[in-house]
């Protein structure tokens, strides 16, 4: 049976359980045009903090738009799949190291995912330079 993209998944980091999910949303830019964004949301299980890592479409920045599969974010030279647990862990590590995210902080934190992208894609070389599959809508691990 296929995994529902809407349900939260578990990530265990040094004995602490986090729940995470990936969502796709549309928003309007300053010119009134629709822009796609892919959001990875993490929160500590039974905790108060919430982290949203947001990847907005833009020049040279690719997010699912009907051609890429859910969770695909990339540039012309690198690619990440936000449905892979290893990618989520790498983004978590970078968010803590580069932005000082504290999962105990009750104030939700939003981070531009592109500020983490280069470091994470460098950590995941086996996956980051592959071409995303066209038309695949399901998550992969």
- The pLDDT of residue 133 is 45
pLDDT averaged over the chain? Answer: 81
Strand 9-13 to strand 16-28: parallel, antiparallel, or no bridges (unpaired)? antiparallel
Separation CA 5–CA 83 (nearest Å) = 9
pLDDT confidence tier of residue 25, bands split at 50, 70 and 90: confident
- The pLDDT of residue 116 is 96
Residue 41 has pLDDT above 90, yes or no: yes
Instruction: List, in sequence order, every residue forming a beta bridge with 22; answer none if it has no partner.
Output: 40
| Of 85, 62, 60, 82, residue with least CA distance to 74 | 62
In terms of phi and psi (left: phi > 0; alpha: psi -120 to 50; beta: otherwise), the region of 35 is beta
Q: Which residue has the higher pLDDT, 134 or 76?
A: 76
pLDDT confidence tier of residue 24, bands split at 50, 70 and 90: confident
Residue 11 has pLDDT above 60, yes or no: yes
Strand 50-56 to strand 109-112: parallel, antiparallel, or no bridges (unpaired)? parallel
């Amino acid at each position: 049976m296929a995994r529902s993209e809407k349900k939260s998944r578990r990530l265990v980091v040094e004995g602490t359980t986090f729940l995470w999910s990936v969502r796709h949303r549309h928003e309007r830019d300053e010119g009134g045009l629709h822009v796609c964004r892919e959001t990875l949301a993490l929160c500590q299980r039974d905790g108060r903090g919430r982290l949203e890592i947001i990847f907005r479409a833009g020049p040279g920045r690719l997010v699912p738009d009907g051609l890429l599969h859910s969770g695909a974010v990339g540039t012309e030279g690198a690619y990440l799949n936000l449905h892979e647990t290893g990618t989520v862990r790498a983004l978590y590590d970078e968010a803590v190291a580069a932005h000082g995210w504290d999962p105990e902080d009750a104030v939700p934190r939003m981070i531009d995912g592109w500020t983490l992208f280069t470091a994470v894609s460098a950590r995941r070389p086996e996956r980051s330079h592959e071409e995303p599959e066209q038309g695949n809508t399901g998550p992969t691990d």
